[in-house]
Amino acid sequence: EPEVTQTPSHQVTQMGQEVILRCVPISNHLYFYWYRQILGQKVEFLVSFYNNEISEKSEIFDDQFSVERPDGSNFTLKIRSTKLEDSAMYFCASSQWAERESYEQYFGPGTRLTVT
């Protein structure tokens, strides 16, 4: 069964460093998302992406964040200068546009980002 994959599973970085989190969505999906879950808190929407541009972003997704689909398979989240409060589990998700089933978002296993 097709699945969303994410790498790395765990990333440790120092405050102020740049990180890139990588995702490979399900191959025939057209919509891509990033969410994050700070330990003990709710899963929060960060950004949605379609047709090579951001379709919606939350207030969390400030200028330090960017997303890119550099080729036909990868979808990346970059944090330009990490802060301690960026430590969280980051989930990538994808969904397929279809007449009735378009809104099922399939999630990857997550990347745990630890900023020290």
Q: Which residues are near another protein by CB under 8 A?
A: 4, 31, 33, 35, 41-45, 48, 50, 55-56, 58, 91, 93, 97, 102-110
By beta-carbon proximity to another protein, the closer residue of 14 and 42 is 42
Q: How far is the CB of 82 from another protein (least distance, A)?
A: 22
Q: How far is the CB of 112 from another protein (least distance, A)?
A: 9
Nearest-angstrom CA–CA distance, 90 and 5: 12
User: 16: alpha, beta or left, given left = phi > 0 and alpha = psi -120 to 50?
Assistant: left
- Contact call for residues 6 and 109 (beta carbons, < 8 A): yes
Q: How far is the CB of 55 from another protein (least distance, A)?
A: 4
- Contact call for residues 32 and 25 (beta carbons, < 8 A): yes
By beta-carbon proximity to another protein, the closer residue of 64 and 105 is 105
